[in-house]
Amino acid sequence: MIKIAVTGAAGRMGKTLIEALENSSAAKLTVAIEHPESSLLGADAGELAGLGKSGVVIGSDLSAAIDAFDVLVDFTAPAATLANAALCAAHQKGIVIGTTGFDASQKAQLMEVVKPTRVVMAANYSIGVNLCFKLSKLAAEVMGDTADIEIIEAHHRHKVDAPSGTALKLGEVIADATGRDLDKVAVYGREGQTGARDQQSIGFATVRGGDIVGDHTVLFAHDGERVEVTHKASSRMSFASGAVRAAAWLGSQPSGFYDMQDVLGLH
């Protein structure tokens, strides 16, 4: 049984991860971490997630609990994740990273600090979304030279980054499959007299509102027909269950940098 630490344990995703761990036969929660100013420090993590007592008390110091877990699951913010990843790497602990919004410098720093250990990092841990990555790659290989490609995503009003990490990953998958540089062909929203569409561009449209968990569609538009690859999440549990599956898988892997496609054998 893999022992798991969860950071951001009192947040929406943290509580869902705790519930997913309660339902797992391969991994169990042993450490729950929140920021030092949280009013929930000292609370039972299971009770906070609505599951009853777990015996795991929410703390604020991951380093003090370093011997109590095998793999950290981190869905927090870039700066916090970088610090946590450096700590895990120094102690040969695995880490599953679900944080999005890293800038280029932070991403490069992360790739450097995690070299000594084993890491799974994915834009999205949903099994369905990862299947969509595979299907989008196939569609791009078949249709990408002639189709207009647009990526449409929608999330709840509280999401702070745009486009979503999943949308950007879809763009990267498609760009790689069609031999394009996403930094050069991405179009993030349109306004005014934009002129005719450049066929090489990959467009992104972002919607924010309500409690939408996460919707993503890749549109391949030809004259006379279109193909759409769509995933709609109705619960964060799909992400949490995938992250727990990744953590359990990671426990038996050698040091290295992996993604959810590795976990699911989709490469």
| Residues that are catalytic | 155, 159
E-strand stretches of the chain? 2-7, 27-33, 58-59, 71-74, 94-97, 118-121, 148-155, 186-188, 202-208, 214-222, 225-233, 256-258
Tokens (6 digits) for 121:
């990092």
Instruction: Give the number of other CB atoms < 10 A from CB of residue 19.
Output: 20
Question: Which two three-digit tokens encode residue 10?
Answer: 């009192």
For residue 133, count other CB atoms closer than 10 A to its CB: 26
Plot region of 199 (φ>0 → left; ψ -120 to 50 → alpha; else → beta): alpha
Q: The dihedral of CA 18, 34, 64, 93: what is its sign?
A: positive
